[in-house]
Chains A and B, each alone.
Chain A
Amino acid sequence: MRPGPEADGEIVRAVLAGDRERYARLVERYRDRYARYAARMLGSADAAEDAVQDAFVRAFDQLSQCKDPDKFVSWFFLILRNRCFAERRRNRTESSLEAAESVAAADRTDGGAEAGERRRALQLALMELTPDQREVFVLKHVEGLSYGEIAERLSTSVPSLKMRMHRAYDTLREQLREHK
């Protein structure tokens, strides 16, 4: 057994030096974490899977442009983010149906028809937000990041994030009330 896991930077440097097989370790390490972000952003686990796959392929292609290999994750996140935003523009009509489907799948594992219904309703309501609003909501309330961490990731300010989020809260409330 190797002593301790490899750092991301080590793997990136090895891949850039020609050891392409090691890229699989980065994929293994982060695919599920980012699949959740993509699933809540796109409203579908299937779309999330495609988005994450595409993002990892793109990241491999552009790996030499990753300025700081030790910060692969934040650089990769932006690639995935772009891919998710591009997806939204493509598939507006399909997403709300799939949102209901994918949350229904979550039903089976978490139990409780009523809880599942509420989750479905919220995911549908999330799809009514703008992508920017949905993103800040997902990063804070699904991924559990602080406003400061989100601001750093998205290269923006905490006050502007809070403004987005507070508008999101209002839209969600309206959506959930309307569809009770």
Chain B
Amino acid sequence: MSEHEFHPLVKQLLDGDITLADLPADLRAEGEEALRLLAAVDRSVVSVPAVTWRVMAGLEQRRRRVRPWLLAPALALAAALLLWIMPAKPAAPALVTVRFVLAAPDAHEVSLAGTFNRWDSHATPLVRSGPTGVWTATLTLPAGQHQYAFVVDGVRWVPDPGAPAVDDGFGRRNSVLTL
């Protein structure tokens, strides 16, 4: 057995068949060295979100290649649509339709207040849908950044549980909408 090889018992330790306590005293240090080796193993998650759409896009592209005569009219149609959709004045802000939702079964009224309506808690009431206690409102907002919160029963300011939140400078949190 050379200098470099672990003792067979230490290898059993590495395999998880025995514990450090099972090792004789003279192998204790070697056992600890072995455990330090295992502690250095990188078990961190490797996140590869791009793989899903890259795989599906790749499969789609290969399918299209089989029928090239379909592509030309599709491209022409896409180009025509783009020209039609593009605003005449490029400076005009894009508008996005956003649906705000809050589950508040015990509330009597819920409204939305934010940078888009000058934080006016009366300007944008939400509508309750039936007995489930889900309140919704749909707004069309300009692209950009908006901060908002729900106002429950006119007095309680509640950030949107489904949105990122920032400190409002008054001890509460505002929800952030980035369009």
Do chains A and B make direct contact within the complex (CB under 8 angstroms)? yes
Binding site for B on A (CB under 8 A): 20-21, 23-24, 27-28, 31-32, 35-36, 38-40, 45, 48-49, 52-53, 56-57, 60, 103, 106, 109-110, 115, 118-119, 121-123, 140-142, 147, 162, 165-166, 169-170, 172-174, 176-177
| CB-based closest 9 A-B pairs | A118-B40, A122-B40, A174-B4, A35-B46, A35-B48, A36-B46, A31-B51, A170-B5, A39-B46
CA–CA, A77 and B39, complex, Å: 26
Question: Which residues of B36-85 have CB atoms within 8 Å of chain A's CB atoms?
Answer: 36-48, 50-52, 54-56, 58-59, 63
A40–B42 contact, CB under 8 A?
A: yes
Whether B23 sits at the interface, judged by CB under 8 Å, is: no
Least CB distance, A150 to chain B, in whole angstroms = 12
B52–A28 contact, CB under 8 A?
A: yes
B42–A119 contact, CB under 8 A?
A: yes
B52–A27 contact, CB under 8 A?
A: yes
A49–B45 contact, CB under 8 A?
A: no
Number of A-B contacts (CB under 8 A): 101
Least CB distance, A125 to chain B, in whole angstroms = 9
Question: Which residues of B1-29 have CB atoms within 8 Å of chain A's CB atoms?
Answer: 4-6, 8, 11, 14-15
CA–CA, A69 and B58, complex, Å: 23
CA–CA, A27 and B54, complex, Å: 10
B56–A24 contact, CB under 8 A?
A: yes
CA–CA, A40 and B52, complex, Å: 20
CA–CA, A85 and B89, complex, Å: 55
CB<8 Å pairs between A and B, sample of 17: A24-B52, A36-B43, A40-B42, A48-B46, A49-B48, A49-B50, A49-B51, A53-B58, A57-B59, A103-B42, A110-B44, A118-B36, A122-B37, A122-B42, A141-B41, A169-B14, A170-B6
Least CB distance, A98 to chain B, in whole angstroms = 13
CA–CA, A141 and B43, complex, Å: 8
With A109-B44, A121-B40, A141-B38 as contacts: A173 and B58 at CB distance below 8 Å:
no
B6–A173 contact, CB under 8 A?
A: yes
Which residue of the partner chain B has the closest CB to A30? B51
Which residue of the partner chain B has the closest CB to A32? B47
A20–B5 contact, CB under 8 A?
A: no
Least CB distance, B55 to chain A, in whole angstroms = 5
CA–CA, A32 and B46, complex, Å: 6
